[in-house]
């Protein structure tokens, strides 16, 4: 017999009560855990995805849409910008590097991105098999694309217009898979990378530039075309500042002096989080209400069981138990109960995420992982134990004060 | 081994205004002796037992157990003394229903802060004919069996004093005989003093040394 065994037997003797309290607490904790997992991983993803991109330049429109489209690849472009203008901006003295993007097509919901190798290098992407895209209509697949579409090196496929699975198919020009990337945990896992001119080629009814010769003075962003080409357009330009002054001057310059629009990922994301934060806060609040109710329920359970156990307590005192031991027993019982509830809740939160990732394609696309434990979860566990101690304090004080004689004499 | 001198206790009525005092006769009980504490309901039998067991502090008077004045003991020392020297047997509801028979018995040395020996549990259960009930839950026991488990628990720490409060009044004649016989036997075997408080007339013929309140 030990104090743990004694408590365990008491908890076991009231299976229904114990189970209900654990369930109630674990639901609240699971909800908080899930929110923590989502929030942290989304934030990590967002920072990882916008690393190396200080500014996105595109056609005028919604800046948030521009960021969602060109950095996270979840929205549609705001329009196109002239390659000639983009070229001019890329040469600006405050620009460290500028990466062109040409968007428009997708394959089974995965976006085809016309760009250059600089794009894959900002995500430090590595090849898992095959090679990099070089010629037109060659593509390199992100790991999630390869995994979910089952495409292999050498396979051919045709892209569809838009981002949906059943867009108009461009069946005249087929892409060929040159290589597949290693998993990087960034947005590039969900992209199909190719050259800018491939995207042009797929969309042009008649190919404008028929000669395959190298241009005399190539464009900075797309070397396969002549600099100053007045017809070619791209979707957007990802810019890295050369120095901090650029952060002040460049966006203003672009927004006032050109027909293009500049949007900062950091700023737009902060704005988005502020808007979404209300929903997350509401869920968090609901979770805290659940935890509060379970705390109350544990308190009531302990308080009621104490009434039934007054006799037990007096008997134990008659057998030599000190007041302190009874106090400790009740406190431990409360905290063990909340500890179990919190542990179950945390595991439940992770289990829900495992389920989400397994069942929903979106979960896999987002690259969420249920195997990561955050410091906050440790804090929750510790907090729950504190909650248990708090809820059992009053019953424990009553146990401490049990008047043995009165209880045993039945008066 | 236990002796009292001039014990009194003050009762308070429910509203706390009226109170009356009760004066207990002095008594001295040696190891191996068995006493019957007789008296009508309300005569203070339970109160006296609680005073003797240190569950209640007297208004005046002195209680010596093994030559130690228990008034001089602190609350914790009193708890320890109670756990090691005294075994209680109550009328009913005195086993912890959340625990098995075995764990109810092991609770005694645990709470008294002594080593727990399972052989001692087996020995005591054997002695009381409860071997097959070792792993039973309390609700599976009959009243007679429950009372025997209570006796087992009272003697497992080899106390020098056994205090029994109406141990037989909830039992039928057969179980009553068995329980008082066992109490007597185990008290003798453990060389303990036994005091049985009761108004049960069936016991008068079984224990000849009597104290009447």
How many CB atoms lie under 10 A from the CB of residue B132?
9
Distance from CA of A349 to the nearest CA of B (A): 32
User: Domain check: are A111 and A14 in the same one?
Assistant: no
**Percent of chain A residues past pLDDT 70, beyond the cut:** 93
Q: What is the DSSP letter of B133?
A: G
pLDDT at A142 over 90: yes
Q: What is the mean pLDDT of residues B89-96?
A: 82
Within 8 A of B153 by CB-CB distance, chain A residues are 319
Is the Cα torsion angle A364, A367, A372, A373 positive or negative in sign? negative
Number of domains in chain A: 2
Query: Roughly what angle, to the nearest 10 degrees, separates helices A323-359 and A15-49?
Result: 50
CA distance A315 to B147: 14
pLDDT at B58 over 80: yes
pLDDT in the model for residue A167: 62
pLDDT at A205 over 60: no
Highest mean pLDDT among A45-59, A163-177, A197-211: A45-59
Q: What is the mean pLDDT of residues A74-100?
A: 91
User: Domain check: are A169 and A312 in the same one?
Assistant: no
Q: Do B82 and A319 touch (CB under 8 A)?
A: yes
CA distance A332 to A16: 19
User: Domain check: are A226 and A249 in the same one?
Assistant: yes
Closest CA to A186 of A149, A151, A144, A146: A144
Best interface-test mutation with B: which of A310, A408, A410, A411 has the largest number of B CBs within 10 A? A408
Q: Do A404 and B50 touch (CB under 8 A)?
A: yes
pLDDT in the model for residue A364: 67
Whether residue A123 lies inside any domain: the answer is yes
User: Domain check: are A224 and A284 in the same one?
Assistant: no
User: Domain check: are A37 and A77 in the same one?
Assistant: no
pLDDT tens for each residue of B3-40: 999 889 888 776 666 778 889 999 899 998 999 999 88
Nearest neighbour of A318 by CB, restricted to B47, B55, B106: B55
Can you give the CATH number for the domain in which B104 is found?
Answer: 3.40.50.300
User: Domain check: are A184 and A333 in the same one?
Assistant: no
Is the Cα torsion angle A319, A320, A323, A329 positive or negative in sign? negative
User: Domain check: are A308 and A349 in the same one?
Assistant: yes
pLDDT tens for each residue of A248-305: 999 999 999 999 999 999 899 888 888 887 888 888 888 889 888 888 888 888 888 8
pLDDT tens for each residue of B146-174: 988 999 999 999 999 999 998 888 888 88
pLDDT at B93 over 70: no
pLDDT in the model for residue B169: 84
User: Domain check: are A170 and A297 in the same one?
Assistant: no
Closest CA to A397 of A321, A306, A301, A317: A306
Whether residue A313 lies inside any domain: the answer is yes
pLDDT at A230 over 90: no
Nearest neighbour of B94 by CB, restricted to A5, A315, A404: A315
Whether residue A271 lies inside any domain: the answer is no
Whether residue A272 lies inside any domain: the answer is no
Q: Do A321 and B79 touch (CB under 8 A)?
A: yes
pLDDT in the model for residue A208: 54
User: Domain check: are A10 and A158 in the same one?
Assistant: no
Hey, which residues 290-319 in chain A have their CB within 8 Å of chain B? 311-312, 315-319
The token pair that represents A156 in the structure block: 């051919």
CA distance A321 to A316: 5
Could you tell me the residue range of the domain that residue A22 belongs to?
Answer: 3-46+277-409
Q: Do A408 and B53 touch (CB under 8 A)?
A: no
Closest CA to A186 of A38, A73, A264: A73
| Contact assessment for residue A262 and residue A95, using Cβ atoms and an 8 Å cutoff | no
pLDDT band at residue A30 under the 50/70/90 scheme: very high
A310 Cβ contact list (under 8 Å, min separation 6)? A402, A407
pLDDT in the model for residue A171: 62
User: Domain check: are A71 and A36 in the same one?
Assistant: no
Best interface-test mutation with B: which of A11, A318, A406 has the largest number of B CBs within 10 A? A318
Residue with tokens 């720490």: B157
Number of domains in chain B: 1
Could you tell me the residue range of the domain that residue B96 belongs to?
Answer: 2-212
User: Domain check: are A221 and A308 in the same one?
Assistant: no
pLDDT in the model for residue B172: 87
Distance from chain centroid for Cα A249:
32
Looking at A263, A285, A309, the residue that finishes a domain is A263
User: Domain check: are A135 and A180 in the same one?
Assistant: yes
Within 8 A of A10 by CB-CB distance, chain B residues are 98
pLDDT in the model for residue A408: 86
pLDDT tens for each residue of A355-398: 888 887 776 666 678 888 899 999 999 999 999 999 899 999 98
Q: Do A5 and B88 touch (CB under 8 A)?
A: no
Please check whether residue B178 touches A, CB under 8 A.
Answer: no
């Amino acid at each position: 017999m030990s104090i743990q065994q004694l408590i365990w037997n008491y908890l076991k003797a009231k299976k229904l009560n114990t189970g209900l309290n654990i369930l109630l607490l674990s639901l609240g904790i699971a909800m908080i855990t899930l929110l923590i997992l989502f929030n942290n991983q989304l934030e990590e993803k967002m920072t990882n995805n916008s690393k190396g991109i200080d500014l996105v330049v595109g056609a005028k429109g919604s800046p948030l849409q521009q960021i969602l489209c060109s950095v996270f690849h979840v929205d549609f472009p705001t329009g196109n910008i002239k390659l000639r203008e983009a070229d001019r901006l890329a040469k600006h003295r405050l620009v460290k590097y500028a990466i062109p993007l040409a968007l428009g097509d997708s394959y089974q919901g995965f976006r085809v991105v016309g760009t250059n190798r600089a794009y894959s290098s900002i995500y430090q992407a590595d090849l898992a098999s095959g090679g990099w895209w070089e010629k037109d209509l060659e593509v390199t697949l992100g790991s999630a694309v390869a995994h979910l579409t089952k495409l292999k090196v050498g396979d051919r496929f045709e892209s569809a217009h838009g981002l949906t699975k059943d867009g108009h198919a461009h069946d005249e020009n087929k892409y060929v898979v040159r290589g597949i990337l290693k998993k990087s945990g960034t947005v590039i896992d969900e992209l199909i990378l190719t050259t800018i001119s491939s995207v042009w080629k797929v969309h042009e009814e008649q190919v404008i530039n028929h000669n395959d010769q190298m241009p005399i003075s190539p464009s900075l962003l797309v070397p396969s075309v002549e600099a100053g080409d007045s017809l070619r357009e791209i979707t957007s330009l990802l810019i890295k500042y050369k120095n901090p002054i650029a952060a002040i001057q460049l966006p203003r310059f672009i927004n006032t002096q050109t027909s293009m629009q500049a949007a900062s990922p950091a700023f737009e994301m902060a704005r988005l989080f502020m808007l979404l934060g209300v929903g997350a806060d509401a869920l968090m609040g609901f979770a805290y209400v659940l935890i509060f109710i379970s705390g109350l329920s544990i308190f009531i359970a302990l308080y009621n069981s104490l009434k039934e156990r007054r006799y037990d307590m007096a008997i134990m005192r008659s057998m030599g138990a000190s007041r302190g031991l009874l106090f400790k027993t009740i406190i431990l019982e409360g905290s063990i109960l909340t500890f179990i509830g919190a542990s179950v809740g945390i595991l439940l939160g992770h289990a829900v995420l495992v389920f989400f990732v397994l069942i929903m394609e979106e979960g896999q696309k987002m690259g969420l992982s249920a195997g990561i434990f955050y410091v906050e979860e440790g804090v929750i566990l510790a907090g729950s134990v504190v909650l248990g101690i708090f809820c059992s304090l009053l019953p424990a004080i009553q146990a401490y004060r049990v008047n043995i004689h009165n209880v045993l004499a039945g008066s | 081994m236990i002796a009292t001198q001039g014990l009194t206790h003050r009762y308070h009525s429910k509203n706390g205004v009226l109170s009356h005092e009760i004066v207990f006769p002095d008594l001295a009980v040696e190891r191996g002796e068995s006493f019957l504490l007789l008296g009508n309901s309300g005569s203070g039998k339970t109160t006296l037992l609680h005073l003797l067991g240190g569950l209640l502090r007297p208004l005046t008077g002195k209680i010596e157990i093994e030559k130690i004045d228990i008034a001089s003991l602190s609350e914790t020392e009193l708890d320890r003394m109670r756990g090691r020297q005294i075994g209680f047997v109550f009328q009913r509801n005195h086993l912890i229903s959340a625990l098995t028979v075995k764990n109810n018995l092991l609770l005694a040395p645990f709470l008294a802060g002594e080593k727990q020996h399972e052989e001692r549990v087996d020995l005591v259960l054997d002695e009381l004919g409860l071997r097959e009930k070792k792993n039973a839950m309390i609700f599976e026991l009959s009243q007679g069996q429950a009372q025997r488990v209570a006796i087992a628990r009272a003697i497992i720490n080899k106390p020098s004093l056994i205090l029994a409060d109406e141990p037989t009044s909830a039992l039928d004649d057969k179980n009553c005989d068995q329980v008082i016989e066992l109490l007597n036997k185990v008290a003798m075997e453990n060389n303990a003093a036994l005091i049985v408080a009761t108004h049960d007339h069936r016991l008068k013929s079984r224990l000849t040394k009597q104290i009447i309140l």
